[in-house]
């Protein structure tokens, strides 16, 4: 999972996993990059000690500038089999990973790059970067990105971005709720690391269940989501983490959560 272009670099730093794209200067999405990303996500999921995942653009100029269009001609008649289904599976795997995820955006996030960022729970962006689903400029379509973007910022703003293909600035993205934070000084990766450290210090079982419930608010009916919340609350009260957290609160010390 480490090496030259078309790969990803995965590092584990304490309870935080960092996944850096390594797809060349623009981090173009290729079949090789998707396969490496898929394997890296499987590895992260297998590590019980991971409590947060940060996805970033590594040393590239862009977080990710979208698909490598040089591949399109060869797959035109078999795109579902050779690209679309696998790419959607990998993006859904990122979205469904059990721990909180943060996209650290220090360069443009365009097309499939923004789709990767949209699959993360939170997005931290450096001032001066641009974000967009630009596929309509070349007659293409942001499939899963259109759905995730509309859920995140509403259909009217999403349609504006989709129909025009025009990127938006970091400040507009913040105002629209597309990103959670815009960084004025330093890098988005450093800010994401600070945020990840804070999240990793919280109850890991609590955060995993909170992610499930927040996603369920979109995905299932209200009564079903509330029923899920009742079950989740019982899991928390049955957990060692809650009682450790309460004990630490009264003892005025840092909690030592075990994730169970």
Res 46: pLDDT? 95
Res 1: pLDDT? 47
HSE-CB of 201 using CA atoms within 13 angstroms:
10
Both tokens of residue 185? 């000084």
Res 79: pLDDT? 73
Query: Smallest Cα–Cα separation from 247: which of 239, 256, 238?
Result: 256
**111, 134 contact by CB (below 8 A):** yes
**pTM reported for the whole predicted model:** 0.93
Res 213: pLDDT? 95
| Residues marked as catalytic | 115, 135
Domains along the sequence of the chain with CATH: 7-200 (3.90.226.10), 204-251 (1.10.12)
Instruction: For the chain, 260 residues long, give each residue's pLDDT as a single digit of tens.
Output: 454 456 899 999 999 999 999 989 999 988 899 999 999 999 999 999 999 999 999 999 999 998 877 777 677 777 777 787 888 999 999 999 999 999 999 999 999 999 999 999 999 999 999 999 999 998 988 989 999 999 999 999 999 999 999 999 999 999 999 999 999 999 999 999 999 999 999 999 999 999 999 999 988 999 999 999 999 999 999 999 999 899 999 999 998 998 88
């Amino acid at each position: 999972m480490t090496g030259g272009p078309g790969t990803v670099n995965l590092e584990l730093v304490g309870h935080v996993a960092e996944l850096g794209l390594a797809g060349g200067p623009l981090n173009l999405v290729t079949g090789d990059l998707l396969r490496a990303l898929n394997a890296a996500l499987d590895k992260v999921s297998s590590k019980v000690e991971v409590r947060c995942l940060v996805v970033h653009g590594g040393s590239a100029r862009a977080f990710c500038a979208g698909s490598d269009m040089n591949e399109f001609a060869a797959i035109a008649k078999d795109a579902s089999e050779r690209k679309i289904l696998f790419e959607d599976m990998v993006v859904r795997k990122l979205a469904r990973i059990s721990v909180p995820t943060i996209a650290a955006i220090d360069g443009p996030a365009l097309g499939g790059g923004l789709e990767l960022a949209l699959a993360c729970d939170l997005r931290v962006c450096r001032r001066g970067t641009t974000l967009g689903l630009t596929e309509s400029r070349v007659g293409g379509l942001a499939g899963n990105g259109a759905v995730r973007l509309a859920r995140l910022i509403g259909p009217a703003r999403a349609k504006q971005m989709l129909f025009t293909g025009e990127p938006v600035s970091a400040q507009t993205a913040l105002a629209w709720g597309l990103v959670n934070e815009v960084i004025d000084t330093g890098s988005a990766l450093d800010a994401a690391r600070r945020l990840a450290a804070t999240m990793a210090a919280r109850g890991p079982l609590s955060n995993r269940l909170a992610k499930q419930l927040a996603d369920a608010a979109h995905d299932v009916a209200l009564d079903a989501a509330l029923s899920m919340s009742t079950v989740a609350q019982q899991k928390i009260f049955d957990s060692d983490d809650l009682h450790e957290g309460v004990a630490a609160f009264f003892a005025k010390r840092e909690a030592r959560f075990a994730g169970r």
